[in-house]
Structure 1
């Protein structure tokens, strides 16, 4: 579990103007976040626009990230779906070497809690490496409750959860009270990192860390050391930028911010679209404003 304590970054997938994968910018990004102090890399999370990449592209991106991972950071691969039998077959055939899998709750089907538990147990039985649950009901229309998470935490191949159940940490707090000591509880929301760690969480899988890796890493590290006053100051400094980068959807805003700092061109694949001119300007102004805030940029 320790290798996933701290700051993970859900890497975006940069695209060329023709919307093919921009591997040059992807290498820049991996170097940028690695030098910025993140603890591990998440490939093919939601932020990667994974629904619009083919299976072949996903594996090619994974292999490329591994090839340019000069600091040998742990790699988590997003590999989920809503057809349990199909996913079990894919896991049994999976041959790439990764450190763990991030497995999103089944979407659209809206299974019961028992269905969720059986789904994850079947995948965990088949997976060649440990899995991290991913609960994000605002995208899946399905909330995996704390009781189910704690039950799944007993499985030897389920090591943690990326928890993003809402705008508060109430459910995460219940998980923290009841989970095993060696279970990873990580935030799926950048704006809840501080309260999440206060109640027993171990870090974040972050979006904004694509562009501001050192800022998010410093915040998380301060909170993990219980230096909450310093962590709160850093969280307050980033609050406005976080509001902006998610205002037109993810990863629209963070790709616009990355373009401003010289990584990628801000392009997304439909049905997602690039940031509006107004949002780009607001992000630019806030990025310049960060320069004036102590300890940031």
Structure 2
């Protein structure tokens, strides 16, 4: 059996763009150094927050190689590899370039709305197509289908390299059911910044975080305190960010966190269509909170 290495603070890494919409590799290099120097435990690349659907195949390959070369093995890298055509995902896993990648994050098939048996067979086939650790990604708000707790546990028991799930259903009862019934080698990772504290209290092992792009030092402190059972101190940090959590997603992801990073001087506030920058009113609120937090 393969154990999960993706624990603590994972960063759902954004893709910085220049004003001309090309990838800003200078900003990406700064961002990677910023994450590693400020407490990130692993990176999650080329997934939702990275605006991956709007990247070309060549861009994705170049970004992956750039990140691997700059990280130099200092922290693990989890890379997005999923879709709603099982055969295409399998082909990518078998023939793609995963050199320097430590695991794959695979989202539930979207749009098709498969049954639970369809989801089980999809992920079982994906797990069989690679020797890399696989982290399931359940985000029904985006995919239109929920990976039920029973299906998650079934996959965890039946597939030796399915090591964890990024749970972003927002359903703490479902999270608790997975944690109660899962095999010991399988882990639950929070997919919601705002629910990370209560999920860790339930037994989750960390988070794949959006806000961590901008505030890795502060958020990693909360995660570590919670993982060590120091809930009173961790809760106070969690509550400091409550308003910010809401603002990050009110205009879509990653519009909010890119606005934050722009305010911090890290990158241009540029997204690729159909995503657009956050509204000025939201931007002002984010700026006000950052001032209150002295960031």
TM-score bin, normalised by smaller chain: over 0.9
Aligned to 1:72: 74
- The CA deviation at 1:71 is 6.2
The 8 Å contact of residues 4 and 164 in structure 2, kept in 1 or not, is answered as no
> Which residue, 50, 53, 57 being the options, matches 2:52?
50
Instruction: Identify if the C-alpha distance between structure 1 residues 225 and 2 changes in structure 2 by more than 3 Å, giving closer, same or farther.
Output: farther
- The CA deviation at 1:132 is 0.3
- The CA deviation at 1:96 is 2.2
1:134-173 aligned at under 5 Å gives the runs 134-154=137-157, 155-166=159-170, 168-173=171-176
Aligned to 2:89: 87
Instruction: String of CA shifts for 1:70-102, please: whole Å, max 9, x gaps.
Output: 562100000101001111111111232210000
- Size of the aligned set, in residue pairs, is 291
The 8 Å contact of residues 13 and 45 in structure 2, kept in 1 or not, is answered as yes
Aligned to 2:111: 108
Give the whole-Å Cα distance in 1 for the aligned partners of 2:116 and 2:41.
32
The 8 Å contact of residues 86 and 122 in structure 2, kept in 1 or not, is answered as yes
Over aligned residues, Cα RMSD in angstroms? 1.0
Aligned to 1:129: 132
Instruction: String of CA shifts for 1:244-280, please: whole Å, max 9, x gaps.
Output: 1111110000000001111111100000001112111
- TM-score, normalised with respect to structure 2: 0.97
Unaligned runs of 5+ in 1: 292-296
- TM-score, normalised with respect to structure 1: 0.96
Aligned to 1:294: none
1:271-290 aligned at under 5 Å gives the runs 271-290=274-293
Q: Which portions of structure 1, spanning 4 or more consecutive aligned residues, are displaced by more than 3 angstroms?
A: none
> Which residue, 9, 14, 17 being the options, matches 2:11?
9
Unaligned runs of 5+ in 2: none
The 8 Å contact of residues 3 and 39 in structure 1, kept in 2 or not, is answered as no
> Which residue, 221, 244, 248 being the options, matches 1:245?
248
